[in-house]
Amino acid sequence: MTIARHQHWIGGTETGSSNGECFADLNPIDDSLYAHAARGTATDIEQAVQAAHASFATYGKSLPKEREGWLLRAADLLESKSSDFVDILVDEVGSPLLKAQREVETSIGILRSAAGATRHLAGKTLPTDVSGRLSMSIRRPLGVIAGISPFNVPLIKNIKHSAMPLATGNTVVLLPSEHAPVTALKVATLFADAGFPAGSFNVVTGFGAEIGDTLTCHPLVRMVGFTGSSRVGHHISTLCGERAKRYSLEMGGKNPLVILKDAEIDKAVQGSVIGSFLYQGQICMASSRIYVEKPVYDEFQTKFLAAARHLGMDDLRSPSTMIGPIIHETQRARIKEHLKDAISKGAKLLCGGNWQGNRCEPTVLTDTNAHMQISHEETFGPVTALHCVDSADDALNLANDSNLGLSASVYTTNLTQAMRFAEELKAGMVHVNGTTIQDEPHIPFGGVGDSGFGRESTDPDLSEFTEWKWVTFQHN
């Protein structure tokens, strides 16, 4: 079988790395070679930023109807080519079929939502104390926007880091995860086929540890959008802060799911299974801490364990498969270390903990404590911890005992408790009687504390990717 060799996408053309080097993009199911991709250098970043900057001179003046049309065509093309994108997500990052299909569907919605936003870049007429003056404010695009995207939902995040910047008249340089370069380059082809001008969207593939700082610190980059770990996010915030540069961070989570004594247990089990094990737990919104009130704990535990033990781990293209491979060896080692550390310090393994090739079985722990890594660090695998609590107050206090505040859920039929948890949970997103893993194109997506800074969405992005300009006209 011929292994494809992929180049950067810069200025509307395929462009090789300045040093001619490539790196191996592996299929995580068995670590076989999936593709070769250009290994980006600082010189490649410079070329991409310059191409985006040159394109901005005209793209920044494009008409709303033009940007709307390009985005809608991209959405239609993605819909028509959905099977191609599903295949890439399955083979490049180990997405089970249903997760891959859901990712494509969500990405189509993001593009269409961004297309609608092109009509909402509105300014204001302002009152003034100066006689004979007309005062107004207008919005202008920033210029070059950098996007740094992860491996776990690469299509969604590649499009999130580009659709709204493009909708608001900016140009983009995208640095995708080294574990998902082909997905990003497929998006570049999609945008080119949709009619976006050359240079408006650029992709440099490679390793963030090698070229991420070059992109973040480039003086022509006006804003950085990042999705990834809290550690790297804090590093980016420091670099941007030192340069008075805008940034948006969507980082890790240690997301609590609370089940109160009046909850509908079967629904809570279903939400917990999805929240804990969708895409083998490699989702920032995964339910890694489950707090259950004592009166329903035994019933929930029995049903939850039964469901976890029967999750499909077969062919990724089978609709019954939920558990796929962990993306790479470093991440597999992290999961194993977290489990080893927890069990050595007294945690009880209720199910799972074993590996089938590169797949970790759905794993449920109990008796975890604050001295264990798994209690405060993001494991990013199909692992969750069950906690029996005496009261709703205990559940709320424990749920809030983390600096990671991305998503949270509470299952209850008590409206008063639902409203209380919705208001008091320290998370950027709270779901009542729904799983922690949820997203829609137009909602303010993001977290608090070490989980993020800023929000991803059409409304916040209209402000994030533009700057106000005050204009006056003196007519007498």
pLDDT in tens, 156-212: 999 999 999 999 999 999 999 999 999 999 999 999 999 999 999 999 999 999 999
| 425-447 as b/e: b if 16+ CB within 10 A | bbbbbbbeebbbbbbebebebbb
Cα distance between residue 66 and residue 60, in whole Å: 11
| Nearest residue to 21 (alpha-carbon basis) of 2, 45, 41 | 41
The DSSP 8-state label assigned to residue 11 in this structure reads T
> What angle (nearest 5°) sits at the alpha carbon of residue 442, between those of residues 437 and 445?
45
Contact 328, 25 (CB under 8 A): no
pLDDT in tens, 261-285: 999 999 999 999 999 999 999 999 9
Give the position of tokens 């499009």.
159
> Which residue out of 68, 92, 250, 464 is catalytically annotated?
250
Q: What is the pTM of this model?
A: 0.95
pLDDT of residue 476 exceeding 90:
no
pLDDT band at 457 (very low <50, low <70, confident <90, very high): confident
The alpha carbons of the chain give a radius of gyration, in whole angstroms, of 23
Domain over 255-432 is classified CATH 3.40.309.10 = yes
> Which residue out of 178, 284, 360, 378 is catalytically annotated?
284
Residue type, 244: A
pLDDT in tens, 382-402: 999 999 999 999 999 999 999
Q: Give me the residue spans of the domains in the chain.
A: 4-251+451-474, 255-432
Contact 86, 104 (CB under 8 A): yes
Q: Domain 4-251+451-474, what architecture?
A: 3-Layer(aba) Sandwich (3.40)
pLDDT in tens, 310-323: 999 999 999 999 99
Q: Is 284 a catalytic residue?
A: yes
